[in-house]
Amino acid sequence: MSKRYLAVGKPARRVTLCHGVPSRHGGRQHATLPTLAQPLPMIVRTLLFALPLLWLVPPASAATTPTPTLVYAFSRFEPYKTVDADGKPGGPYTVLLQELARRSGVQLDIVHCPLQRCLALLQRGQADLSIGIRGNAERDRYLDFLDPPFAPPTATMVLQRHDDPRPIRHYDDLYALRVGVVEGASYFQRFDEDRLMRRDAAPSARLALRKLAAKRFDVLLINAQQGRQLSRELGARQYRRAELQFPGELPRRIALSRLSPAVQAAKPRLAAQLQQMLRDGSVRRILDGAAVQAAHAGSKRSGRSLHSMSTPH
């Protein structure tokens, strides 16, 4: 009995077998079989083998998940948030956020903006987070603050000109004076909500000190570490510290935009990694290491550090 073979994709041809079978006319009748077609080209056979395996390969989107990106609203706040000669943001607060982002598996994009502009970006959800910003009743509507805090509450000091003999010992003493502040900054609740206080704002702490020296206002409320560093740069003999000083009210926290789905989704991971950074001493090393580099006198002479003196704006 003959067997039939079919070649894939081509009609079978019939060929004569080399053996015969008897015919009813007494002769030999040659049986015929369909034959295999010519061998398939190697590339076709390879494709036929490989195509089923493609179902086992995950799509590119499933194999490589894009790294989440968070936008850091950066406002200059020396010595914690600084800008180098090339305009690149730096300082210990920025280093802290960069390390936190790295550990949390997110990319950090930095937007350099004045304080009020940074707050507006956070309020609209166009920036995701910031640092060195103090919460208050107005800001708490659009800002969420990451727990745990990265530093304890700290004080605000009052600077006056060195040749100004007026004693300033009590809060009420400020009412008779023009009080210098940084535009958009928050200090402490009583002062922030005091509508009777005469304020004169400057765009930055550096300019505020210059306005104080130029007698544009009488005293300046400023972060202690920041005031010491900037007064040394601009001429320490021009200024003196008043007796009045205000203790800090709130521990320092990283600010998150309530309108940012990205940072709210990343919040548990950020909180866990910040807790680990506090536990392993990374936060203290970043803040204290920067203090030594930023001011050889100031915090080093007083035995205090940026970690214990980081007043926000």
pLDDT digits (tens, 9 = 90+) for 35-67: 445 555 666 555 555 555 555 555 555 556 788
Length of the chain: 313
Q: What is the pLDDT averaged over residues 298-313? A: 46
- Going by C-alpha positions, the residue among 270, 278, 279 that lies closest to residue 101 is 270
Q: What is the pTM of this model?
A: 0.70
How far apart, in whole angstroms, are the C-alpha atoms of residue 214 and residue 209? 9
Name which residue leads in pLDDT, 295 or 252: 252
Confidence of residue 312 (pLDDT cuts 50, 70, 90): low
Tokens representing residue 19 in the block: 């053996």
Confidence of residue 311 (pLDDT cuts 50, 70, 90): very low
- Could you tell me if 130 and 73 are in contact, meaning their C-beta atoms sit under 8 angstroms apart? yes
- CATH homologous superfamily of 67-152+250-309 equals Periplasmic binding protein-like II (3.40.190.10)
Look at residue 250 in the predicted model and tell me its pLDDT. 85
pLDDT digits (tens, 9 = 90+) for 271-284: 999 999 999 999 99
Q: What is the pLDDT averaged over residues 223-232? A: 82
Look at residue 236 in the predicted model and tell me its pLDDT. 78
Look at residue 232 in the predicted model and tell me its pLDDT. 84
pLDDT digits (tens, 9 = 90+) for 75-111: 998 888 999 999 999 999 999 999 999 999 999 999 9
pLDDT digits (tens, 9 = 90+) for 134-190: 999 899 999 999 999 999 887 899 999 999 999 999 999 999 999 999 988 889 999
For the chain, the domains span: 67-152+250-309, 156-246
Could you check whether 67-152+250-309 and 156-246 share the same CATH topology? yes
Sign of torsion, CA 139 130 113 185?
positive
CATH of span 156-246: 3.40.190.10
Name which residue leads in pLDDT, 19 or 228: 228
- The values of phi and psi at residue 141, to 5°, are -70, -30
Residue 193: which region, alpha, beta or left (left: phi > 0; alpha: psi -120 to 50)? Answer: alpha
Look at residue 224 in the predicted model and tell me its pLDDT. 81
Q: What is the mean pLDDT of the chain?
A: 81
DSSP bridge pairs for 29: 21
